[in-house]
Chain A
């Protein structure tokens, strides 16, 4: 059996690594659901809103899908 201390250490290290890996991806996913006017934020105010949008919207997905749909119909 693994000693409790070693197990704790493993969980701790793995959590740090997993956080480093997931953080940019999570930010990307959340930022994709920001409303247009909130995408550009100053770096000077750091807080939850650096990651969590004030309201979730799928507008960005809708516009990009709509655009690519039109583009695919246009002749090259």
Chain B
């Protein structure tokens, strides 16, 4: 018989080993790697915080931080609101609901890379049906991801198209988890539909919404494939998010130290913002 004191740890051990090898080790490697530089001869040496000081003095880096933050400030609330609206719309039973639910989660079946290729064709200025339609109604041809002003918003649209149905599922599950008795009590108290939504649904949806917001934030800070496929950070750096900068530093300019430094900064940035979100969405009575 194993001693009962160590048995729980034994059961958790496989997962801990997995997390240690596949999650924590890369982070440590990145942190140490960000303190090294590679010379022209290909030898890596310790450079201290040089990578970071270089970054902080680099206007490209700051414009990339600006782009990343702008992207996230728009896309995270947008996806949360759209997903919540969709969840509310497909919550209560009605005829043909299964069809709408199926259609709304369909983009989940398309890979991120493929959806970028699809929209590259769909929004094309010469061949795309959307531009054809826009010209037909008289708006005129838009260049979407090829224009400096529209590129970031195009990417936000594509990511929302892809993500909203997915996040809808979590919020829908949250809506189902609210007990019907709470609504009955509210009805007996003579509340209006808006009051039920504002004072019953919203407070009880706090946890699912917090989950979606936090996970969505981490996803969107690491948003990469559509940037790489559609815009390559352009035009004029207007979509050069930090992930793309990190990729470019490593695989275009072979500066692994700089790339890892950007990754570490990104990690710290995500941690800070997720902490901020936890703080903002904490219920008033809850203390931690």
Partner of B161, one of A2, A21, A28: A21
Q: Is A58 an interface residue (CB 8 A)?
A: no
Interface residues of B in 75-90 (CB under 8 A from A): 85-86, 89-90
Closest to B124 in A: A43
Number of B residues, CB within 8 Å of A = 30
Pick the residue among A10, A15, A24, A40 that contacts B127 (CB under 8 A).
A40
Q: Are A2 and B103 in contact (CB under 8 A)?
A: no
- A35-53 with Cβ < 8 A to chain B: 39-46, 50-51
Could you tell me if B94 and A7 are in contact, using CB atoms closer than 8 angstroms? yes
Give Cα A11–Cα B133 distance, bound, in whole angstroms: 24
Q: Are A10 and B86 in contact (CB under 8 A)?
A: no
**Interface residue range, chain A:** 20 to 34
Q: Indicate if the CB atoms of B89 and A10 lie closer than 8 Å.
A: yes
Among residues of B, the one whose C-beta sits closest to the C-beta of A45 is B132
A13 to B, closest residue via Cβ:
B89
**B211 on the A face (CB < 8 A):** no
Q: Indicate if the CB atoms of A14 and B126 lie closer than 8 Å.
A: no
* Residues of chain A lying within 8 A (CB to CB) of residue B104: 17-18, 21
Which chain B residues border A25 with CB–CB below 8 Å? 106-107, 110, 118
- A31's nearest neighbour on chain B, judged by CB, is B121
A10 surroundings in chain B (CB, below 8 A): 89, 94
A2, A7, A41, A50: the one within 8 Å of B133 (CB): A50
Q: Hey, which chain B residues are within 8 Å of A20, CB to CB?
A: 161
Interface centre among A13, A24, A42 (most CB of B within 10 A): A24
- Closest B residue to A28 using CB positions: B118
User: What chain A residues lie within 8 Å of B122 (beta carbons)?
Assistant: 24, 27-28
Q: Does any Cβ of B come within 8 Å of A65's Cβ? A: no
On chain A, the residues within 8 Å of B92 by CB distance are: 2
Q: Shortest CB–CB separation between residue A47 and chain B, in angstroms? A: 8
Known A-B contacts A10-B89, A13-B89, A18-B104; the reply to A24 vs B119 at CB < 8 A is: yes
Contacts of A2 in B (CB 8 A): 92, 94
Is there an interface contact between B86 and A24, defined as CB atoms closer than 8 Å? no
* Contact of B165 with A by CB under 8 A: yes
- Using A43-B126, A43-B128, A50-B132 as known contacts, say yes or no to A24 and B100 having CB atoms under 8 A apart: no
B125→A43 contact, CB < 8 A: yes
B136 partner residues in chain A, CB cutoff 8 A: 46
Residues A46 and B127 in contact in the complex (CB < 8 Å), given A10-B94, A21-B106, A22-B106: no
Q: How far is the CA of A45 from the CA of B165 in the complex (A)?
A: 33
Partner of A50, one of B94, B119, B129: B129
Closest to A43 in B: B132
**Residue on A with the closest CB to B141?**
A43
B135 proximity list for chain A (CB < 8 A) = 43-44, 46
Q: How far is the CB of B84 from chain A (nearest CB, A)?
A: 13
- Chain B proximity of A40: nearest CB distance (Å): 6
Q: How many angstroms between the C-alpha atoms of A27 and B119 in the bound complex?
A: 11
| Binary per-residue interface labels of chain B (94-118) against chain A in the complex, 1 for a CB within 8 Å, 0 otherwise | 1000011001101100100000001
8 additional contacts (CB under 8 A) given A2-B94, A21-B104:
A13-B89, A14-B89, A17-B104, A18-B99, A18-B100, A21-B107, A42-B126, A43-B141
Q: Which chain A residues have a beta carbon within 8 Å of chain B's beta carbons? A: 2, 7, 10-11, 13-15, 17-18, 20-22, 24-25, 27-28, 31, 39-46, 50-51
Q: Which 5 A-B pairs have the closest CB atoms?
A: A46-B136, A43-B132, A18-B103, A46-B132, A50-B129
